[in-house]
Amino acid sequence: MKKKVGVLVSGRGSNLQALLDACADPSFPAEIALVISNVPGVYALERAANAGVPTLTIPHKGFPSREAFDSEMDKALRAAGIEIVCLAGFMRLLSTGFAEGWRGRMINIHPALLPSFKGLHTHRRAIEAGVKLHGCTVHLVTPELDDGPILVQKAVPVLASDDEDTLAARVLEQEHKAYPEALRLLAEDRVAVEGNRALIRDA
């Protein structure tokens, strides 16, 4: 049985598209059963609709607290029978309760080689720091921002000619490979967590 996946989005959804494309392969062990956006009208919702995936918009501004908003998302995910949650450009900090409720079953993609460059503006900061390698990380979500056991990382060289945009474009190509790879590992139950390390069975 394919694992049912819920994807949380806030924007154009290029990583959502990579996951939709991966799930279109009959041999892929997961299917996207629901896409939730906290922002009305974003392109990610169109991508989901084009793939025949149910969508839901839950504007966060209508809630008195982060916890109340997260609780509404949680209800929708559980009602849809979701087993794995993917954050794909979801621009909201999650409450501790929500992160704990989905611990071990929720993954995020971050445009840097964690634990370096947590937070925003990762490509600019990588260039300013003079690193020779940059990339992306898919990790299990914990209550701490951009933290949690690492499942997949992909690296790209930082070129002397790079600016923020050229580096971002090269990293994004790798994100589109890394995210489906990580979802596959989780959907095939090949991830065991020891402390802050994710150990991959049959890696």
What is the tens place of the pLDDT at every residue in 134-169? Answer: 999 999 999 999 999 999 999 999 999 999 999 999
How far is 107 from 121, CA to CA, in rounded Å? Answer: 20
Which residue in the list 110, 123, 134, 176 is annotated as catalytic? 110
Place of tokens 């992306």: 136
Quote the pTM value: 0.97
Q: Any alpha helices (H) in the chain, and if so which ranges?
A: 14-23, 43-50, 66-79, 96-101, 122-129, 164-187
Give the chain's largest Cα–Cα span.
50
Percent of the chain residues past pLDDT 90, beyond the cut: 99
SS3 assignment, position 62 = helix
Domain span at 120: 110-137+144-203
134 is catalytic: no
Q: Are residues 71 and 5 in the same domain?
A: yes
Per-residue pLDDT tens over the stretch 90-103:
999 999 999 999 99
Q: Are residues 171 and 86 in the same domain?
A: no
pLDDT-based confidence at residue 196 (cuts at 50, 70, 90): very high
Q: Are residues 89 and 149 in the same domain?
A: no
Q: Are residues 131 and 76 in the same domain?
A: no
CATH for 178? 3.40.50.170
**Of the candidates 128, 137, 130, which has an alpha carbon nearest to the alpha carbon of residue 177?**
137
How far is 57 from 131, CA to CA, in rounded Å? Answer: 39
Domain count, the chain: 2
**Of the candidates 152, 200, 187, which has an alpha carbon nearest to the alpha carbon of residue 30?**
187
Per-residue pLDDT tens over the stretch 122-136:
999 999 999 999 999
Residues paired with 106 in a beta bridge: 85
